[in-house]
Chains A and B, each alone.
Chain A
Amino acid sequence: MTNAGAFSKVLSRLRVLRKVLVLALIVSSATLVRGNGPQAPAVHAAKDQKSAAANAQKAAPAAAPRHDLSGTWEPANGPSEGIQPDGVKAMPNDGKPEHQLPYTPYGLQTYKSHHALFGPDENLPEFNNDPRDKCEPLGFPRMDFYNLRETQILQNEYKVALLYEYGTAWRVIWTDGRPLPKLVDGGVMIGNEVKEPRYYGYSVGKWVDDTTLVVQTTGMMAEDRVWLDTAGRPISDQVRVEERIHRVDHDHLEWTVTIDDPKMYTKPWIAMNKFPMKLEDPHRDVMEQYCSLSEMENYNKVFASPASAPGGQAPKH
Chain B
Amino acid sequence: MRSKVMAVFALALGGVTFSVPLLAHHGTAAFENEKKITLKGTVAEWLWSNPHCLLQVDVKGDDGKVVRWVGETQNPVSMTNVGWSKAAIKAGDDVTVVMLPVKNGMPLGRLVSVALPNGKTLISGEGASREERDKLEQEVHQAK
A117 pairs with B81, CB closer than 8 A: no
Number of A residues with CB within 8 Å of any CB on chain B: 39
Which chain A residue shows the least CB distance to B75? Answer: A289
CB-CB under 8 A from B130, the residues of chain A are: 80
Contact of B106 among A124, A125, A307 (CB under 8 A): A307
Given A83-B24, A302-B70, A307-B104, the answer on whether A291 and B30 have CB atoms closer than 8 Å is: no
Distance (Å) between the CB of A124 and the closest chain B CB? 5
A85 pairs with B54, CB closer than 8 A: no
B90 contacts partner chain A, Cβ-Cβ < 8 Å: no
Residue ranges of B at the interface with A (Cβ–Cβ < 8 Å) = 21-31, 47, 49-52, 54, 56, 70, 72, 75-78, 80-81, 102, 104, 106, 108, 130, 133-134, 137-138
Distance, CA A244 to CA B104, complexed state (A): 46
Distance, CA A123 to CA B26, complexed state (A): 9
Distance, CA A119 to CA B26, complexed state (A): 10
CB-CB under 8 A from A123, the residues of chain B are: 27, 29
B50 pairs with A291, CB closer than 8 A: yes
B49 pairs with A299, CB closer than 8 A: yes
A117 pairs with B76, CB closer than 8 A: no
Q: A287-B76, A289-B77, A296-B50 given; name 20 further pairs at CB < 8 Å.
A: A78-B137, A79-B137, A80-B134, A85-B24, A123-B29, A133-B51, A149-B77, A287-B80, A289-B75, A291-B51, A295-B50, A299-B51, A299-B54, A302-B70, A303-B72, A307-B31, A307-B106, A308-B30, A308-B104, A309-B104
Given A149-B77, A292-B49, A307-B102, the answer on whether A302 and B26 have CB atoms closer than 8 Å is: no
